[in-house]
A and B are shown apart, each in its own frame.
Chain A
């Protein structure tokens, strides 16, 4: 008999945490992205946060591959700084970080240098984000 675990699957669904600040009312965009990601076969955990610590904690509990944070009301720099250092101190450096919302160009450059994989601002599509994730974690994309 084979020693392989029964039903061992190499293609476990990609898990994505989508988080937005509790007081950010603009969640239509995030909900749309969540649906697109679901349709791409991802398991999407959807949550609100007040503290960046909550994103880190949720990412740990949900064992996600990707974190997407959407900030449209400003204050994005400290959020991403805290997020990256929180993930690092928990040994979660392999999680892909994506940003969404309105983020100025200069900040975008700084964030990317810090380790944020990409920023999806206005004019970008959920498909771009999906493709980036699939590129990194594998899996097939259906049109």
Chain B
């Protein structure tokens, strides 16, 4: 059932930027010529730029918290590009590069981390669910959505993004049971970034995570998650299987979270500089840059253009934050229910009266 064998992983682009053969996977990237690869590179670079900018904005007090995706650009951008816009994405809090690829409005994205909103973008605008902070919950949602696609006889599919830590949750395991039972057109995309906050992946799994899925009746693929081509190929294979009625596929993208868990975290407490250096050498952007340069697809003009584009997006992010106005204070009473609710209307009205009693400076 394994599409790859235990322990091995698929790689199409080595860290040194060499394109290597991967029979069974190569055909899935046949359409990715140098221009397409350059555009994947561009999205990865912009994702990194957005991420660095958001981290800086947190340091400057413009936002409260940020979960960096530094190091996971290939896993997110490669998989996002293998989907259709009508497919539905269920992510955690870290899939901001996926959101970028789906055309998220940056203001809505950043409003969550500014503390203005709980969910940010409208899920139906970009076919991407509200970010899930409760670890693993979204995997069940993805399966249910996929079941709905199947009931509708549509060839849309869904994808669940989750981490290595999440694989320990009951929800994720139940999601695999449901997906297998109903042959749901869903992709389980696990970014094994080696850590769940401070806990190394060994706490969650003593064998490669990809080995687990076949026990549920779900074929799995283990890929070099820092190789954008391998990730694209694996996701394209899984999407094709789902669309053609062959049910779920599990992908383990082996990657590394090069930054802290969030801007509140101090990774020096639980991992070494040597380990970080080892993974820096496997950086997902460097290898594409090396490859593109070698084949002559990334000259100075292109480099300058991409860098200018990323500057523009970074400026847009800053502008998006500056444009955020303090929300209307009592709007948190809105939308608790879809239908009118008298109890809540009454409570809100009382609080309005309370606030009004301050007019004139003092509670009179």
Query: Real complex partners, A and B?
Result: no
Residues of B participating in the A interface, judged by any CB pair closer than 8 Å: none
Residues of A participating in the B interface, judged by any CB pair closer than 8 Å: none
